[in-house]
Structure 1
Amino acid sequence: MRLQSFALLLSLLLPPCAAALAAEKTVYGLNERVFLAELGSLVAAKLDTGAKTASLSAHNIKRFKRNGETWVRFTPGFGDQEAAPIEKPLARISKIKRRAGDFDPDEGKTYTARPVIELDVCMGRIRRTIEVNLTDRSAFEYPLLIGSDALTRFGALVDPSLKYAAGKPSCTHVAHADE
């Protein structure tokens, strides 16, 4: 009897806690407009909770050394194809798992190595610095895919029945990793 009472009490307490946690989150749609200040671009993004990392469409991706550090030079893969190249420090190299149709048995690698940079992203009224890997996304509808790592940084709840729920991006403050 005592165990049943405890279980009942616990079940009554959980929903308000869950609601309080949800109240601290921002609801976004499956697709959102984001502003990339460093690139001077407003782009459409797909929010994908099934992907871990964020991916940005880029061309002519080259690594180079500057003052002993590795940097990346790339041309954004959206908008004006004659855009000026962007240079950013390399944050790390990401290993992205290849899908069955993308696997080349002669090459033997089950992953693709992609350069990762840090980029300020404004979605709705929230701006965060997130890691994005660079790859050619020209075959996809959205030039930016935002994965679960970045969605966590945004405090996001994704409602796939919505599109552009956050409205036009309008950010002023950049939150750092400790915020």
Structure 2
Amino acid sequence: MASSATDTVAQAVTETRHQPAGQIGKTKVIGWREQIILPEFGSTHLDAKIDTGARTSALHAVDLAAEIRNGEEWVSFHVPYLGEQRSVRHSAKIFDRRKIRNTSGIAQVRYVIKTTLVLGVRQWQIEVSLADREKMKHDIILGRTAVRDQGLLVDPAKSYLAGAPVSDAPGKPPWRP
């Protein structure tokens, strides 16, 4: 019986060696940081940190203001693009308010919105909290719920394995595999 298990592992290793780079079976391997696009917020590439230790994703946003539009709660905010001298005002429907621990372990109530994420040639909807990440290195962190069920495996020793995000125009979905 032990040789059967050994044979199974050996077969899996052999099959993995014949996969395209960045691919294990149907699983896409991504790095611990990747370039992404959030099309609803423009076509600017954001440098994302994939943080499987964080449950919820967080986008750097400041000057948050909640308002009621047609009976629904919305939040408007500025997204200051790190490393650049510009900030763009956006708004989104509030999906939820959640108590989330910041990097210091202090619980904060944050607005959570839904948006489209483009990573390489893939796109899907994610939930992202809005937080002041000015002192952080990355514009956005992608938590484990954002990458769960997407057929992705994070290689913590590599960066930028997914390739540049593919989007034809802001707000227009890219090609899907």
Q: TM-score range by the shorter chain?
A: 0.7 to 0.9
* 2:117 matches 1:121: yes
| Equivalent in the alignment of 1:106 | none
Residues 98, 110 of structure 2: 8 Å contact kept = yes
Question: Cα deviations across residues 31-73 of structure 1 (Å, max 9, x unaligned)?
Answer: 1000111111211000011111110000011111111111111
* 2:80 matches 1:68: no
Question: Cα deviations across residues 109-161 of structure 1 (Å, max 9, x unaligned)?
Answer: xx211000011111111111100000000100001000100111432111111
- Identity across aligned pairs (percent)? 29
| Equivalent in the alignment of 1:148 | 144
Larger radius of gyration: 1
Report the Cα distance in structure 2 between the residues aligned to 1:35 and 1:12, rounded to whole angstroms: 42
| Equivalent in the alignment of 1:107 | none
| Off by >3 Å, runs of 4+ in structure 1 | 7-20, 79-84
Report the Cα distance in structure 2 between the residues aligned to 1:174 and 1:86, rounded to whole angstroms: 26
> Which of 131, 153, 165 is 1:169 aligned to?
165
Aligned residues: 162
| Equivalent in the alignment of 1:134 | 130
> Which of 23, 26, 29 is 1:24 aligned to?
26
Q: Which runs of 5+ in 2 are unaligned?
A: 17-23, 168-173
* TM-score normalised by L of structure 2: 0.79
More helix by share: 1
* TM-score normalised by L of structure 1: 0.78
Q: Which runs of 5+ in 1 are unaligned?
A: 104-110
- Quote the RMSD (CA, aligned, Å): 2.6
The alignment partner of 1:38 has SS state of helix
Q: Alpha carbons of 1:10 and 1:28: their partners in 2 closer, same or farther (altered >3 Å)?
A: same
> Which of 31, 34, 37 is 1:35 aligned to?
37
